[in-house]
Structure 1
């Protein structure tokens, strides 16, 4: 069942999103060759605790960390580890912040040091795809309009869109209805209504769009070893257009 949020509830989610955006701003300063994703994860957990919040992912379906940390060919749900990041890598840090019972969700891909032109194009195109999807998140549009905008832009630039992992509704639970694919046909799917809150989180690959899961049961990576990037915002559907809750 899809739930819409009141103005007060949206404000609670905006506060969680603001804190999440502040955390990503600090992460951006930490990303450099030699840093480990476990160090980033530890920073996030302490940062949120300091600000009276908690990482909603930790313990969710048994997940053991505050963040997901996905490097290079890992699409999503990568486990933080002690392997240092290398110059030229890209890494996606994904987190869900719980502040006073209300959630916000955002992932961001970061270049590590100096990355290749192809990696830069992947990062830029994925961010553009997110922005294209958000522009379609208006009252009266349908979920398919969001996915179509993302898919069209990505494929025009020579990248594929991951289909196994999607955006979703969010509020006091991480995953609420509706499901928000990042591909599809315009004019199809759930109609968007005022007060809905969804995540839009396209994952674009340099090669094949399909994913495989590592033996750890969490880490999803590309089937061909080519790199992947992801950007995500939590977005409210309002009478004033799409409102990004996870930004400063």
Structure 2
């Protein structure tokens, strides 16, 4: 992109490093977000999907009525991580599938080129449950999920509602016992102290493989951020967040 502008108007970027301290959300949630963002920016996590390049993005879903601080949260995280914030609304991406796919792909590409945190506001149209009677809606969801699979940046989505979400998106927002063992014991960046009894307990929790990967990855990052070994209590803490999120759908 080429543009004309007045060079004398350029100024150094000054980041408000105290912005996140003024963000009023529960401390444990703020700590978790900071840990995830720090780890992603530093690019140190060993977790990845089986197919190289997939599932390496960091996606936050912020939900609630207008005025509760969804956009402010993304703004504070951008200041904290010292990255520009690129904001678009879902409606600005177009109204037909071809246009949406073109604009969404361009938006992700620009966010990558600018090393920006991307905020898609009012993203409900990309997240709604697919239906055999709504071909356009189905196309929007499919297009979004396809682009999301390979996006490697930090993405914030905002929505006012949760109960219409598509199941495929829920499993992405990152023999169960064997899967737990694979992700906890073989891919962690920190010492792991999780017993066979703990794995047995986790194996009884009704989550799918992708959810296990996301929970294990988040717990690993949180343990690393706290500079402690990865133990069952940290996994259960993250699992509790995931279950609270799920309960909001019902």
TM-score (norm 1): 0.27
The structure that has the greater radius of gyration is 2
Larger proportion of helix: 2
Larger proportion of strand: 1
Higher relative contact order (CA 8 A, sep 6+): 1
TM-score (norm 2): 0.27
